[in-house]
């Protein structure tokens, strides 16, 4: 993935210098957002801004007036007083009152922001290098959201794909998180490896996802739409490639989506319980590898010298099958190889291992069935 950075840096420089057509929206103010919390934050921001403007006008106006009317050319002579108790009391009390006046609504907003009680829906968000996993508690569904294939293809150096031709480049995913409009949604955030940060500007918050710790936040989205964000914590070389997409739907549409997800989960579970053919495993494995592994190990399994080891001719891939399964499922501590046991289901892991052991001339001939992965989890 390190090979991605030159292209990204060049695009940023082109946009900054005005040499290309791809430019970000230029805004001078905060986003008002689509939740009560985001609008309250915007209102407090504007209140503090105008308080500062009024203070600046008074202070700098008084300074300008004094400098003009008491300038040397008019023969002004500086006063020679030592102090003024009344003035000192006034300029101490007034700032205190201003701060209290700002603190009261700010404290009220902070309390409301952290009140996650009486939620209609709870979603657990797990940050992982470099994707997001969403588990709908009590709904028995969960999935991993990765960078979409078009953005991933355009991000690779030498791909020949112009990033400016990709809609929502680096801000689109294969599986967005979906929530119903008008419902209080509670988000629980944690991470499986390093610190990530889940940020959606339109919702009015960002929250860190920390290994071994659960943060929580809530939102009630009031209008249907698609809202985009990113990880805002420097979480590794793939940091710039784990966007967030949230779709807010009406209640009927959300229930229809939920039914589709349950059906897909049931189908995947049924698929994991059967014996797969060689062709099915290799086809599925190539798909999973392209989406999950190729970013680091490259499409041809060459790896990136000094950063990600090659899978082509790898002693792990061509070694004992049990060790290969363990590496994919549990990762390797101290390296950039994350554990995929929680990210991929049994069929996906079985298929991608089968693909790796038979691609790029490895030719091990092994066929790994989902049942073997299921047994390895115990």
- Report if residue 11 sits inside a domain: no
Domain end: 241, 263, 285, which one?
263
Same domain, 108 and 125: no
Q: Which residue has the tokens 């229930």?
A: 255
| Residue that wins the pLDDT comparison between 344 and 247 | 247
Q: Which of 235, 263, 291 is the last residue of a domain?
A: 263
Same domain as 285, residue 255: no
Distance, in Å, from the CA atom of 50 to the CA atom of 56, rounded to the nearest integer, reads: 10
Please report whether residue 195 resides in a domain.
Answer: yes
pLDDT number for residue 27 = 67
* Same domain, residue pair 135 and 250: yes
Q: How far apart are the C-alpha atoms of 95 and 92, rounded to whole Å? A: 6
Q: What angle do CA 129, 180, 170 make, to 5 degrees?
A: 35
d(CA 49, CA 55): 10
pLDDT tens for 282-324 read: 998 898 888 888 877 888 888 877 778 889 888 998 888 989 9
pLDDT at 204: 85
Domain holding 188: CATH number?
2.60.40.420
pLDDT at residue 214 greater than cutoff 90? yes
60: part of which helix (H) or strand (E)?
Answer: helix 36-69
Contact (Cβ atoms closer than 8 angstroms) between residue 134 and residue 142: yes
pLDDT exceeds 50 at position 250: yes
Q: Is residue 79 in some structural domain?
A: yes
Per-residue pLDDT at 25 = 56
Same domain, 128 and 90: no
Q: What is the pLDDT of residues 354-368, one digit of tens each?
A: 999 999 988 888 898
52/287 Cα distance (integer angstroms):
56
d(CA 103, CA 86): 26
Do 290 and 312 lie in one domain? The reply is yes
In 3D, which of 306, 297, 307, 291 has the Cα closest to residue 348? 291
Residue 156: φ, ψ to 5° = -75, 130
H/E segment holding residue 350: helix 346-358
When divided into structural domains, the chain yields a total of 3
Q: Is the pLDDT of residue 93 over 70?
A: yes
Domain-embedded: residue 3: no
Q: Please, which pLDDT band fits residue 6 given cuts at 50, 70 and 90?
A: very low
The answer to whether the pTM exceeds 0.85 is: no
CA dihedral 61, 66, 71, 75 (to 10 degrees): 150
200 and 163 together in one domain: yes
The residue out of 60, 88, 113 marking a domain boundary is: 113
pLDDT of residue 19: 38
* Residues 225 and 331 both lie in one domain: no
pLDDT tens readout for residues 344-355: 888 889 999 999
Q: Same domain, yes or no, for 126 and 255?
A: yes
| CATH number of the structural domain spanning residue 108 | 1.10.287.90
Chain mean pLDDT for the chain? 84
Q: Which domain holds residue 88?
A: 36-113
131 and 343 Cβ atoms separated by less than 8 Å: yes
Q: Using CA atoms, how far apart are residues 227 and 206, in angstroms rounded to an integer?
A: 13
Of the candidates 181, 106, 114, 174, the residue with the CA atom closest to the CA atom of residue 146: 174
| CA atoms within 13 A of residue 13's CA, in its CB half-sphere | 6
């Amino acid at each position: 993935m390190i090979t991605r950075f030159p292209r990204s840096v060049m695009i940023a420089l082109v946009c900054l210098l005005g040499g290309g057509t791809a430019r970000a929206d230029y805004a001078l103010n905060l986003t008002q957002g689509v939740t009560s919390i985001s609008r309250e934050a915007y209102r407090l921001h504007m209140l503090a801004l105008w308080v500062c403007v009024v203070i600046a006008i008074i202070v700098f106006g008084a300074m300008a007036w004094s400098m003009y009317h008491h300038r040397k050319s008019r023969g002004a002579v500086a006063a020679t007083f030592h102090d003024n108790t009344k003035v000192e009391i006034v300029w101490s009390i007034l700032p205190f009152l201003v701060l209290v006046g700002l603190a009261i609504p700010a404290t009220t907003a902070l309390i409301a922001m952290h009140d996650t009680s009486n939620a209609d829906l709870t979603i657990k968000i797990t940050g992982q290098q470099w994707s997001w996993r969403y588990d709908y508690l009590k709904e028995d569904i969960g999935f991993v959201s990765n960078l979409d294939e078009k953005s991933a293809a355009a991000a690779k150096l030498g791909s020949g794909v112009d990033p400016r031709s990709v809609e929502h480049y680096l801000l689109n995913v294969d599986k967005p998180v979906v929530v119903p409009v008008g419902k209080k949604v509670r988000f629980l955030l944690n991470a499986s490896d390093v610190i990530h940060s889940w940020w959606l500007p339109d919702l009015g918050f960002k929250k860190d996802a920390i290994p071994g710790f659960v943060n929580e936040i809530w939102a009630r989205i009031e209008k249907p739409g698609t809202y985009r964000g990113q990880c805002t914590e420097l979480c590794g070389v793939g940091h710039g490639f784990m966007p967030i997409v949230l779709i807010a739907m009406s209640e009927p549409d959300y229930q229809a989506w939920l039914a589709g997800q349950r059906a897909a989960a049931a189908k995947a579970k049924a698929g994991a319980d059967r014996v797969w053919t060689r062709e099915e495993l290799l086809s599925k494995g190539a798909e999973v590898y392209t989406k999950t592994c190729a970013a680091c190990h490259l499409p041809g399994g060459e790896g990136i010298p000094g950063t990600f080891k090659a899978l082509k001719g790898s002693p792990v891939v061509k070694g004992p099958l049990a060790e290969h399964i363990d590496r994919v499922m549990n990762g390797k501590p101290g390296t950039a190889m994350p554990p995929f046991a929680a990210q991929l289901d049994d069929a996906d892991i079985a298929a991608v291992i089968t693909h790796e052991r038979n691609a790029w001339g490895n030719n091990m001939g092994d066929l790994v069935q989902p049942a073997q992965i299921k047994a390895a989890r115990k």
